[in-house]
Each structure stands twice: as structure tokens, then as C-alpha cells.
Homo-oligomer: A and B are copies of this chain.
């Protein structure tokens, strides 16, 4: 670990010549101060400090690391057991110096930082740096320069990061298999979610984001789990693990509750899978991620034309955003310490310099718009959804009345939402799917669900 951390801060020192101070953050209270949510250290802190310390800071300058953390209070041994001392932590992460948090104020001159998410800490950042450090404000000045420097490092993953990312991927694969296996005996979405998260928790990991496990996959951010599972339903599960040092996985599979896709479900599933496979086959250094998105859109449009749901030339339909009626989100995003990696920095990570979000409905949700480089990890997650808010909109119906065969579409009413998502590492030769151990062919998925 020390070698990796040393290399990371050396690289940072090659880009910026001012000091950086990063706070770990503190746990956030839930319903009273002593009952907190689990502590999640700030991702930029984790990147350079390597371990999820609480109420700590690090100062980086010219490749040197100063650690700021208080020794455990003597009385804390009763409640928290013996915890490592400042010097022990410093040795573990290869710090050049170790000081108390009270001393941090003496080392902040001209220091850049990144706002953390918890209010107790960003209030402290604001007070100590004597300038507003608000997580929701856009970055400026040296903080913007720092953000860009960190992005340039974190955009591609080093070997140590990949070890962790593979761990997260593997445990997530096992979780999805457990979810498929648990479906036949489950009555509620909640039970399948429980079977999946139990695998992650049993490996002493957490979920990287709030799981989606739903028979209403057309609700894109569905965080309810109370629906009962009916034989004709498709169950969409978007569940990923996060390792103890913060590295994430992000996998979606959609499977039939009965263990068998209906013919209409299978038809649409195969279109989504075709888009998924086409995207992954085309991933390589130098390729524009936005083109991968458009490839998915075109493949989906083609499939829907073949099924008689759309009418027209696929390329033309995509230009008119017809694909977005059924695939209204982006093809994916960066993945790393955050499931949407570095999204706390806004679009600095996701969008290459000089680029910004499109106003087109079919492109505005694209979270990543950069040429790919070896070492980047991205998700590929095409989907097909029948969202009532989109498809029942009279304006939409009117605008696209000759391009959508609404009667034909009605025959696919048992397909509410399908998404297939894998984690794809860009390599020198093309790509490697870190989550490839989880089958995604319709028949293989049916086998895993059983009956």
C-alpha cells in the first residue's frame, strides 16, 4: 500500500505546486447524535491515504504526506477497544509526519482542498481555510486546479486500485447469483435484496449505493422493495459492493421471476443484450464514450424496428431521440472509488475540457463524454423501459405518432424495465469485463434463477 500511496502523491506533485489538504470527514448522525450512519471517508482522502480514517486530514506537498489525527481518548478503550495510535497509523500509510488535528490550522496557508459531504466537516473546512468550502458550489481557483489534477490521476486506475475493484466486482457477481437463486422462494422484492446484500455484508463489505431490486424497473431510481413477485414479472436488480477501502462495483441484471422469459420479454432482452455486447466490443483506447452511447442507441433502435415497434431508419430515429423514449439514460459512467466516480466534482471528471452536457433529451443524461484511455473503468448499461410518464405523454404520442407502432408496442406490456450492466476496464488491447463471471445470456440467466 505504501508504495502505491507514495506514487499517487508523487504524481500529484508533478501536476500542482501548491499544498493540498484533504479531510476524511466524520460520520453523519441518523436520528440522534450517537446513532450515526456508517462512516464513509471522503473518496479523495481515501485515494491518497488508503484507509478510511475518521476525523482526520492529510496534507500533501511535493510528494510528502503529513497526517493529522488525534490519538484515541483514553476512555474510548471501554467503548471502542484498543485502536491504533497516531504513530501506528502514520507508519501504516507511510506518512512523513504525524500531528494532532489541533495543529492542522498551522499548515493551511495557500492550501487547496475538496469539500467533503458531511456538514460537520465542511463547516470545519470553511472555518479553518477562512473561505467558503461548500460541497455544492462549483470549484474555483486552486481548488479547481486541484480538482483537475486529481481527476487526471483518478481517471485511470493503478494496479492497487484494480485489485480492490476486482474484489468488489467478484463479490457483486456472487451477490447477483444469490439474488437469482433466492427468487423462486421469495415473495417480496425485499427478500431478494436481502439475499444479495447478505453476500456483500458477509464479506465485510458495504453496498456502493442504495440497491435497486424491483419488478418495476421502469422506475429508474426505484428504492422501494415492497412489491410482491408475480410469475410473469421481470425482476431488475442493480446492486454493487464497495470494499473496505472504498472501491466500488456496479452490476445490473434483469431476470424472470418464474425462471423463464416470456417470448416478448426475451425479444426485448436480446435487444438490450445486443446493445450491451456491441458497446463492449467497441470499447478501446481513443474511442469516444459518447459514440459508444450512440452505438447503444442505434442498436436498440434497430432491434425495435426489427420487432415492428419503431418505424424508420435506425440512424434517423436516433437523431430524433426516438431511442430515448425507451432508453432515456446514458450508457454508463466512470467507476472507481465512487459508483459515479468523482461526481462530487460535478462534470470535471465526466466531461473532457471544453465539453458540456447536451440539451438533447437523448444525450443530456450522459454522465461521461471523453475519449477512452487504457486504465479507465466504465459501466456499460443499456436498458429498455416503458415509463408511463414518457409514453403516456400526449405530446410524445402526437409527436411520434407515425414512428412508433403503438399497437405493436402494446403487445410488449409485460416488459416494464430491462437493464444489463457490466463493469468494463479499458485496456491497451480493447477492454476487459471485470464482471464477466456473471452470465448475461438470457438462457444462462434462466438457469441461474432455476424454478
Contacts and interface: CB of A to CB of B under 8 A. Distances in A.
Contacts of A388: 77, 82
A432 B191 CA distance: 31
Contact of A340 (B32, B36, B221, B343): B32
A30 B202 CA distance: 22
Contacts of A194: 197-202
Contacts of A38: 210, 223
A35 B340 contact: yes
Interface string A28-43: 1111111111101011
Contacts of A31: 40, 42-43, 117, 246, 337-338, 344
A381 to B, nearest CB: 15
Interface string A184-200: 00101011011101111
Interface string A382-422: 00000111100000000000000000000000000000000
Given A188-B204, A201-B190, A32 B338 contact: yes
A18 interface: no
Interface in A187-236: 188, 190-191, 193-195, 197-204, 209-210, 216, 218-223, 225-226
Contacts of A199: 194
A30 B42 CA distance: 9
A387 B29 contact: no
Which interface class (under 10, 10 to 19, 20 to 34, 35 or more) fits A? 35 or more
A238 to B, nearest CB: 13
Nearest to A337: B31
A294 B28 CA distance: 34
Given A199-B194, A202-B191, A120 B117 contact: no
Most buried by B among A199, A202, A223: A202
Contact of A343 (B34, B36, B204, B389): B34
B78 A32 contact: no
A136 interface: yes
Contacts of A389: 74, 77-78, 82
B344 A78 contact: no
A347 B389 CA distance: 49
Contacts of A191: 202
Given A80-B222, A328-B78, A190 B203 contact: yes
A15 interface: no
Interface string A331-363: 000000111101110000000000000000000
Nearest to A208: B35
Contacts of A226: 204
A79 B35 contact: no
Interface in A133-187: 135-136, 186
A28 B37 contact: yes
A288 interface: no
Contacts of A315: none
Contacts of A135: 29, 33
A81 interface: yes
B40 A220 contact: no
B79 A219 contact: yes
Contacts of A340: 32, 34-35
A267 interface: no
A136 B33 contact: yes
A68 B87 CA distance: 51
Contacts of A81: 216, 218-219, 222
20 contacts: A29-B117, A31-B40, A31-B43, A31-B338, A32-B344, A33-B136, A33-B344, A35-B209, A38-B223, A77-B389, A78-B220, A79-B220, A81-B222, A118-B119, A119-B123, A186-B202, A188-B204, A193-B202, A194-B201, A204-B226
Interface of A: 28-38, 40, 42-43, 74, 77-82, 117-120, 123, 135-136, 186, 188, 190-191, 193-195, 197-204, 209-210, 216, 218-223, 225-226, 246, 328, 337-340, 342-344, 387-390
